[in-house]
Amino acid sequence: MKFTSALVLLLSISAPITDARRATNSLASIPRGGATKQSVAFHKDARVWEGDASSTAKEVRGGDGGGTSTMTSHLFNMVKAIVGVGVLSLPAGIAAFGDAPSASIPAAILIASIGSIAAYNFSLLGRLCAMTGATSYKSAWEETVGASTAWIPGSSCVIKTFFAVLAYSMVLGDTFSALFETFGFNVSREKALIGLTVTVLMPLCKLKDLSSLAPFSLVGIAGMLYTALAMAVRFFDGSYAEGGKLAADVAESLRPALGTKGASAVFSSNAFILICMLSTAYMAHFNAPKFYLELENNTIARWNTCVATSFSISILFFIGIAAMGFSTFGGASNGLILNNYSTKDSLMGFSRVAVAFALVFTYPLAFVGCRDGTLEMMQVPKEERTDAKLNNLTYIILASVTAVAMKITDLSFIMSFGGATLGNALIYVYPAIMFRSAVKNLGDDATAAQKLEVKLAMAFAALGIGMGAIGTKMALGKL
């Protein structure tokens, strides 16, 4: 078992960095400027291409502008955006098709492969902003496909953020219930969630200025790193193995269940549950334009380096937590892997505290994205967004999220269903459609390489649609 985990960690170090860089390194020669029909004429103007050599070079490589975020700061923020609570459900994704430790090997390959494709499309969204001058996911669609259908990606982003807030509530309910039990109080998941929502989350979500909360989200990465290390310690010391010192402290259904379904089980259709969960776990693509614009000296080369490095680090996080959790509990891996660990386990208790602390203070940041996106889809002008309207919508969304979170307890279902539907659309399908339209709008100025890349992007879109169709069926069947 320990040899298998060591092999998985070796794979995680060697493969993702190379694959992610290869995936995002295509076509650094995309022109910066409008790819819309209106701007094609501008690009055809000989003065753009036959003028000053330095200015032309700047156009081709993506420009020396951007924001003020340094490469180091940007990498940290991007990893923080990618590595969220979704990673804690990945062991259950492996358990959907296997129960022997060797199932971690094909799972690691899937995590690295899906992560590399996600990195490519994240890079593509930034390059679309360079081509069109777009400043958001929705505006990128408007500049390439058209404004009349921009509600499609816009509504997808809103619903996806609703799923994110829902996942936060589910994790917080489980986590605080376990923390109360640690201190000797028997508080149900439902009561913990309602109490936390009314006393803490609602006041935070009603704040008008959330800038002061942003630093607290930094605890998230530290908490995930600590969680990965703690899970590795518990795997190697055998505390939860049969006869281990903590094995009897967890419910029968949460104790390790190791069987014979190993690496070959990945060919089961149930593997699509893990694949679709990854589409949710890697989902940060609606923020790709923001990250591109905020990067200092945002040339295409620097952008691709930033994307490749941040996704490689995230892939390491995903593989480490998924492999350690699954190798410890096998087929019994819960949708929130922290639930498998004893409430008397002080090492994992600190992990619960770190995750809970991070989620409480990042919850409003995700919530406001959902609320403001809803107002935008309802076409409510900013001048009409009074405090009363904002508060009323806050109450409605929080009540809806809490009610659903109390009803659905399986985080892995939310991850797999959300990934199969909206996750696949936002990561694979929409970027390909936008890129195809952008290249088409360039007309005769489109290069052969760009036209060839359109085929690659559309192939990934077709893959996303196929995975989504099968994954949706599997997720609903699991429910």
Do the beta carbons of residue 296 and residue 69 sit within 8 Å?
yes
Q: How many CB atoms lie within 10 A of CB 476?
A: 12
Closest among 190, 160, 193, 67 to 419, alpha carbons compared: 160
Strand pairing partners for 69?
Answer: 295
Q: Which domains does the chain have, with CATH numbers?
A: 2-17+68-478 (1.20.1740.10)
Rounded Cα gap, residues 1 and 41, in angstroms:
63
pLDDT score, position 34 = 41
Cα 102 off chain centre by: 26
Beta carbons within 8 Å of 177's beta carbon, 6+ residues apart: 187, 188, 189, 192
- How many other C-beta atoms lie within 10 A of the C-beta of residue 93? 30
pLDDT computed for residue 413 by the predictor: 83
* Average pLDDT per block of 10 residues along the chain, 479 residues long: 43 39 38 39 29 34 66 85 87 94 96 96 95 90 93 88 90 90 87 94 85 69 88 94 90 92 92 89 87 91 95 95 95 93 92 86 84 85 87 94 90 82 90 95 91 95 90 77
Q: 454 CB contacts (<8 Å, ≥6 apart)?
A: 432, 435, 436, 439
- State the amino acid at position 86 in one-letter form: G
Report the sign of the C-alpha dihedral through residues 54, 55, 60, 65, in that order: positive
Q: Per DSSP, what are the bridge partners of residue 330? A: 257
Residue 145 is predicted with a pLDDT of 95
Asked whether 400 and 458 are in contact (CB, 8 A), the reply is no
Strand positions, DSSP E, 161-276:
none
Per-residue pLDDT, 217: 63
pLDDT on residue 209: 72
**What does the alpha-carbon distance between residue 273 and residue 276 come to, in Å, rounded to a whole number?**
5
Both tokens assigned to 43:
């690009």
pLDDT score at 214: 64
Give the helix ranges, DSSP H, for 282-386: 288-294, 300-329, 346-377
Query: In a 10 Å sphere around its CB, with 0-12 CB exposed, 13-18 middle and 19+ buried, how is residue 431 labelled?
Result: buried
Residue whose pair of structure tokens reads 């995750």 in the numeric block: 355
Query: Which one, of 477, 473, 468, 471, lies nearest residue 156 by Cα?
Result: 468
Q: Count CB neighbours of 368 within 10 A.
A: 19
CA nearest neighbour of 435 among 23, 132, 26, 38: 132
Q: DSSP 3-state helix, strand, coil percentages of the chain (rounded to 5)?
A: 80, 0, 20
DSSP string, 275-289: HHHHHHHT--GGGHH
Calpha distance 345→182 (Å, rounded): 9
pLDDT for residue 65: 65
Identify the pLDDT of residue 431.
96
On whether the CB atoms of residues 320 and 131 are closer than 8 A, the answer is no
- The residues that bridge with 295 in the sheet, in sequence order, are 69
Helix (H, G, I), strand (E, B) or coil at 250: coil
Is the Cβ–Cβ distance between 331 and 103 less than 8 Å? Answer: no
